[in-house]
Amino acid sequence: MNAKIKTPSAPPESPESYRAGPDADGRFGKFGGRFVAETLMPLVLEVERAYHRCRDDADFKREFANYARDYIGRPSPLYFARRLSAHFGGAKIYFKRDELNHTGAHKINNTLGQILLARRMGKTRIIAETGAGQHGVAAATVCALFDLPCVVYMGETDIKRQAPNVFRMKLLGAEVAPVSSGTATLKDAMNEALRDWVANVDDTFYIIGTAAGPHPYPAMVRDFQTVIGTEARAQLLEREKALPDLLVACIGGGSNAIGLFHPFLDDATVRMVGVEAAGRGLDSGEHAASLSGGQPGVLHGNRTYLLQDDDGQIKDAHSISAGLDYPGIGPEHAWLFEAGRVEYAGITDDEALEAFQLCCKLEGIIPALEPAHALGYVSKVAPGMDADSIILMNLCGRGDKDVFTVADALGVQL
């Protein structure tokens, strides 16, 4: 029931290209923008100028590509999940193996790009926010690599839930700053990082972990993550001599999904589904499905879909996966949703847990709970698809970090 797809009431006309955004004001249609305090505005404009210079700079691209190859381990493999495909008895299922990256998730593609930019801007201090700790670890990792001090803001609730990642960040030399304000989760960590940035505008670069925030962050994070889709497209064309019929990726803020989808957006035959966390069910009120269960609003520098009450107060998200536990979504997804180009579905905690176990047993891969949501959706649609059709799913993180959560959910004492 939660795999049902929500479609907007009146899809606007198709643009010439779905890959042209954002516009000069950082808008994807009405979404995106630069909703930040005046103190930050000059800095946000400086990041935009610096990013545009780097984006078109051959040296920058070469530097990124070299570290991506030698340090992250790119390209990540494209893997045909034979047993899962046979189990579902329909489409051929391919995984893009971004869980094999250094640090175990796609997050490092982005932190690498942003720290190279920060260095070019002459910034000497890095801040980041984190929920599950994956982005915090990825930020702490590149800060160790480039010898820059790093402060990671993390909600106190999340610090308790994700102790191993907290220790990893500390091992890597980062300071983990506990956030007790608000509900002490990811959104509050992001508020606190923004407060730090306002007070340290001269020397500090803020590495945002998902394709959200004020322009240019949504576009910049997307661009660093499109390495996923660009590689996968070439790999699949070589292997199958065909484009995929369906792309599937999980969505919290949506950086791995936009990274996979973006290079395919103008391939009209390719369907795309972003999978939000439906938590205990969309009707329960306890979920993290900003598109399926939220309304447009303005938070953290951008207009997008948000979980909020009638008074415009932001609501807490819930998901068994801490990485999807965010009450917003990147603005480009909000636009692609309203434009009807990408479809969005919800998968519950229970459905994700089932897919998690299936992946372990049938493929010998322990996935993170985040892509387990994507696999949960695949498990619903693959059986109904033709045997020669292709699903490409982003396996964006490995599940070592989640074994305690899963054990707990399954009632197993470790």
Partner 1 sequence: MNAGMNSAMNAGAGASGARLTRRFNELKQAKRAGLVTFITAGDPDLDTSAAILHGLPAAGADIIELGMPFSDPMADGPAIQLANQRALTAGITLRKTLDMATAFRAHDARTPLILMGYYNPIYRYGNQRFIDDALSAGVDGLIIVDLPAEEDDELCHPCMTAGLHWIRLTTPTTDDARLQRVLANSSGFVYYVSIAGITGTRSADQSAVKNAVARIRRQTDLPVAVGFGIKTPQQVAQTAAIADAAVVGSAVIEKIAAGIKKPSRKNQIAADVHRFVQQLAEGLSGA
The answer to whether 310 contacts partner 1 (rule: CB under 8 A) is yes
Give min distance, CB of 37 to partner 1, in A: 5
- Please select the residue that binds partner 1; options are 1, 163, 201, 407, rule is CB under 8 A: 201
User: Are the C-beta atoms of residues 336 and 307 closer than 8 Å to each other?
Assistant: no
Give min distance, CB of 138 to partner 1, in A: 23
The answer to whether 34 contacts partner 1 (rule: CB under 8 A) is yes
3-state secondary structure of 366: coil
- Residues 236-295 touching partner 1, rule: CB under 8 A, are 295
**Comparison of 219 and 232: residue with beta carbon closer to partner 1:** 219
> 327 preceded by cis ω (within 30°)?
no
139: closest CA among 210, 56, 90, 202? 210
The answer to whether 43 contacts partner 1 (rule: CB under 8 A) is yes
- Please select the residue that binds partner 1; options are 121, 145, 177, 198, rule is CB under 8 A: 198
User: Are the C-beta atoms of residues 166 and 176 closer than 8 Å to each other?
Assistant: yes
Q: What angle do CA 81, 75, 60 make, to 5 degrees?
A: 155
The answer to whether 301 contacts partner 1 (rule: CB under 8 A) is yes
Q: How many residues bind partner 1 (CB under 8 A)?
A: 37
**Comparison of 113 and 209: residue with beta carbon closer to partner 1:** 209
Query: For residues 156 and 162, what is the distance between their CA atoms, to the nearest angstrom?
Result: 10
Part of the chain binding partner 1 (CB under 8 A), chosen from 34-42, 64-72, 381-389, 399-407: 34-42
- Residues 131-190 touching partner 1, rule: CB under 8 A, are 181-182, 187-188
The answer to whether 195 contacts partner 1 (rule: CB under 8 A) is yes
**Comparison of 192 and 349: residue with beta carbon closer to partner 1:** 192
Give min distance, CB of 313 to partner 1, in A: 4
Neighbours of 12 (CB within 10 A): 11
The answer to whether 39 contacts partner 1 (rule: CB under 8 A) is yes
**Comparison of 306 and 395: residue with beta carbon closer to partner 1:** 306
The strand pair at 301-306 and 246-251 is best described as unpaired
The answer to whether 122 contacts partner 1 (rule: CB under 8 A) is no
| Structural tokens at position 84 | 């899962």
The answer to whether 36 contacts partner 1 (rule: CB under 8 A) is yes
Full DSSP string of 41-70 = HHHHHHHHHHHHHHHT-HHHHHHHHHHIII
| Residue found by looking up tokens 């102790």 in the block | 163
Query: For residues 288 and 224, what is the distance between their CA atoms, to the nearest angstrom?
Result: 25
Query: For residues 196 and 199, what is the distance between their CA atoms, to the nearest angstrom?
Result: 5
Residue type, 107: K
> 29 — alpha (psi -120 to 50), left (phi > 0) or beta?
left
Give min distance, CB of 123 to partner 1, in A: 15
Part of the chain binding partner 1 (CB under 8 A), chosen from 41-49, 51-59, 72-80, 90-98: 41-49
| Structural tokens at position 185 | 């989760």
Q: Which residues bind partner 1 (CB under 8 A)?
A: 25, 33-43, 181-182, 187-188, 191, 194-195, 198-199, 201, 295-301, 303, 306, 308, 310-314
